[in-house]
Amino acid sequence: MNPFLDSLLPYPFERMNALKAGLRVRSNAPHIALSIGEPKHATAQFLVDACTDVASVRAGLGTYPATRGSDALRASIGAWATNRFLLKPGTLTPSKHVLPVSGTREALFSFAQCVLSGRSGSCAVLPNPFYQIYEGAILLRGTTPYYVACPESTGYLPDFDSVPAEVWQNCELLFICTPGNPTGAVMPLDQLGRLIALADRYDFIIASDECYSEIYPDESRPPPGLLQACAAMGRDDFSRCVVFHSLSKRSNMPGLRSGFVAGDAAILERFFLYRTYHGCAMPAHIQHTSELAWADETHVIDNRALYRHKFATVTPMLAPVLGVREPEAGFYYWPATPIDDETFSQRLFVEENITVLPGRYLSRPHAGVDPGLNRIRMAMVAEPAECIDAAERIIRFARTL
């Protein structure tokens, strides 16, 4: 057995289930899960049709799909990323700089297995709180994770100034998540640029998880991305930089398992080699559906309008009782709780049949501070009526505290 398996911590949802085990719900109202970031808005019909087209599914069944994906899919991704992140036309070459992946989850995990050396003393830096795959991927490679707190004082962005030089010296991989899960914080271009300069100075790779980049409130201010920071610096080879994107949140298709990685061609060539063994090639009809999804913005704009409307309704309801603030991007609230986060979550479940995630399940104590302690994560993914119902019940509950 891989000895590092023992270093893995239980997944947040397992801890949540354990926390709820044996509790008796007092409310008769239906259960509402605000704990899981699984989009519930309807998938656009043209994508449902593409994915379920029998002729297209049947055509793909008789051949092994290519790990690199079809030219058409990579071209669609390349055009999308070039347009979205203001890249100089022609710099993001689909054949060299883009690989399709079966969702960013497996890609984030396998990328770390590929690029980390496992050498004694090596470390990988990640935000705290964080998406737990980063930590698991680092630990399973026998690498030491270094957690960088995302406190309120830095606008919930990782406090990179607090990282000692010796950590950067030993760092092989930096994970960033922008927009952040669970904080919603968006890294500005200049901070991305400073991280790229650090990566050059200390010789590490940046993996930028941008899977929430298409959920944002202001159509005129899309969150910037790492490739965009490269372009702004004239770094047209995207050296040391790899981004992770997904159709799960952008196009409400978490079940499709489709995303891509893009960036530094030399790193992607090594990752391609890894993936030929890893064996996560995307089935043909998923590739075809993905190609159409990346080529269309209308359904993405419509989706953002739904979130905008929902947040405009729910935030003013919850702000007076729970101090929620509308996320800069993404679909989570990350409020402080007036009592211990686990107790809050348990009592909300018992009294109102609502599940939220205790913040500490998404974070680790580090240097005497746990940035998730006494916070909760609430995913505003359901249809508006359910979110409003949840808000009304949370208000009733919060007034009893």
Ligand X SMILES: Cc1ncc(COP(=O)(O)O)c(C=O)c1O
Q: Does 248 bind ligand X (CB under 6 A)?
A: yes
* Chosen residue from 37, 78, 158, 283 binding ligand X by CB under 6 A: 37
Q: How far is the CB of 119 from ligand X (least distance, A)?
A: 26
d(CA 290, CA 298): 15
- Per-position b or e across 31-70, b if 16+ CB within 10 A of its CB: ebbbbbbebebebbeebeebbeeeebeeebeeeebebbbb
- What is the dihedral angle through the alpha carbons of 323, 153, 343, 148, rounded to the nearest 10 degrees? 140
Stretch that binds ligand X, among 67-75, 98-106, 168-176, 303-311 (CB under 6 A): 98-106
Strand-by-strand arrangement of the 357-358 sheet? 332-333, 376-379, 357-358
How close are the terminal C-alpha atoms of the chain, in Å? 48
Stretch that binds ligand X, among 80-88, 246-254, 265-273, 280-288 (CB under 6 A): 246-254
Omega within 30 of 0 (cis) for the link into 182: yes
CB closer to ligand X out of 145 and 170 = 145
CA distances from 335 to 131, 253, 319, 376 (A): 17, 27, 9, 6
CB 359 within 8 A of CB 149: no
**In the window 205-234, what residues touch ligand X (CB under 6 A)?**
209, 211
* Chosen residue from 69, 94, 100, 103 binding ligand X by CB under 6 A: 103
CB closer to ligand X out of 111 and 131 = 131
Q: Does 35 bind ligand X (CB under 6 A)?
A: no
Q: Does 181 bind ligand X (CB under 6 A)?
A: yes
Nearest to 107 by CA among 146, 67, 78: 67
Consecutive H or E run containing 303? helix 298-322
Consecutive H or E run containing 109? helix 104-115
* Chosen residue from 246, 251, 290, 337 binding ligand X by CB under 6 A: 246
Contact code string over 125-164 relative to ligand X, x by CB under 6 A:
------x---------------------------------
Contact code string over 325-364 relative to ligand X, x by CB under 6 A:
----------------------------------------
Q: How far is the CB of 27 from ligand X (least distance, A)?
A: 27
Judged by the rule CB under 6 A, the positions of this chain that interact with ligand X are 37, 103-105, 131, 177, 181, 209, 211, 246, 248, 254, 259
